[in-house]
Structure 1
Amino acid sequence: MRLDLDDGDDITVDMGPLIDCVFLLLIFFLVSTTMKKPEQEIPVELPDPAISAVASPAQQVQNLVVDVEGNFYWGATPIGQQEVHKQLRQWAETDPGAHLRIRVDRNTPARYLVQLVDLCTYEGLTNYAIHTRDGDVQ
């Protein structure tokens, strides 16, 4: 039996479907990456409080203050981050029902507030509040 092997036919790859797939993948990745915007680009201005609690004179209140640079103050005494943890532990041991008022500057990074709330939760303090400015103060 005789086979006719003609080497004149060139084997070609059709590039049309390949280019279509590449463009579809390109469009998919462009759309999926631009849908989620970084949250840091969103300007957020925190609102003033709608309701504020009135402090009771019989209740013992301790102020924990954080300034713009992230410095901590226990009352009016500047303390470090490790000292904050120690003070909260002592505060929870002596009187776990005592009221702690956390005062954070408006321009302070939120990580400091989250750190303080986490420390209060870790030490078992449940009676704490985040102090905002009064509604009548401009």
Structure 2
Amino acid sequence: MAVKYEEEEKPEVQLTSMMDCIFLMLIFFLVSSQLKKIEKEIPLELPESNVARDVKATPDLVTVSVDSKGDLYVNSKPVGPAGLRSALQAAVAEKPDRRIRIAGDIFAPFRSIVQVLDTCQQERLTVVGIHTADGLKK
């Protein structure tokens, strides 16, 4: 009687679990890279300061930009002088102690900057900073 031997299967590398891990990491990095709020560039020429210190932009930072014509933007979205208060109220609705950064063009009308400061004061927003360019030549 002849004994039949079954043909042994060739060993294979199981890549399924490794591919699952790679795809999960890919999805994680795609999602986490989108969490950073991308601020559209508004063409501003910021005034220079020799004593300014660097402050890191945080996700809860609200940026009010004033361009050279006096147009107002809150987080890169255009708002008029009438819409500034409601835009600031909406921006700080969840977190009342948010930081406000005013980025005013060097040629912006000063009345627009004062208007932003007055609106911040009326809304009891006390942590307000002015964004400037670094005037120190390194």
Q: Structure 1 length as normaliser, TM-score?
A: 0.58
Distance 1:96 1:49, change over 3 A: farther
* Equivalent residue, structure 2, for 1:102: 102
Q: Structure 2 length as normaliser, TM-score?
A: 0.58
The structure having more radius of gyration, on CA atoms, is 1
Shift of 1:129: 0.6
* Equivalent residue, structure 2, for 1:135: 135
Q: How many residues align?
A: 92
Q: Do 1:97 and 1:127's aligned partners in 2 also have CA atoms closer than 8 Å?
A: yes
Q: Do 1:92 and 1:123's aligned partners in 2 also have CA atoms closer than 8 Å?
A: no
**Distance in 1 (alpha carbons) for counterparts of 2:48 and 2:133:** 10
Identity %: 28
Shift of 1:111: 0.6
The answer for unaligned runs of 5 or more in structure 2 is: 1-46
Task: Map 1:112-123; keep pairs closer than 5 Å.
Answer: 112-123=112-123
Q: Do 1:62 and 1:99's aligned partners in 2 also have CA atoms closer than 8 Å?
A: yes
* Equivalent residue, structure 2, for 1:50: 51
CA RMSD of aligned residues (A): 2.3
Shift of 1:85: 1.0
The answer for unaligned runs of 5 or more in structure 1 is: 1-45
* Equivalent residue, structure 1, for 2:87: 87
Shift of 1:126: 0.6
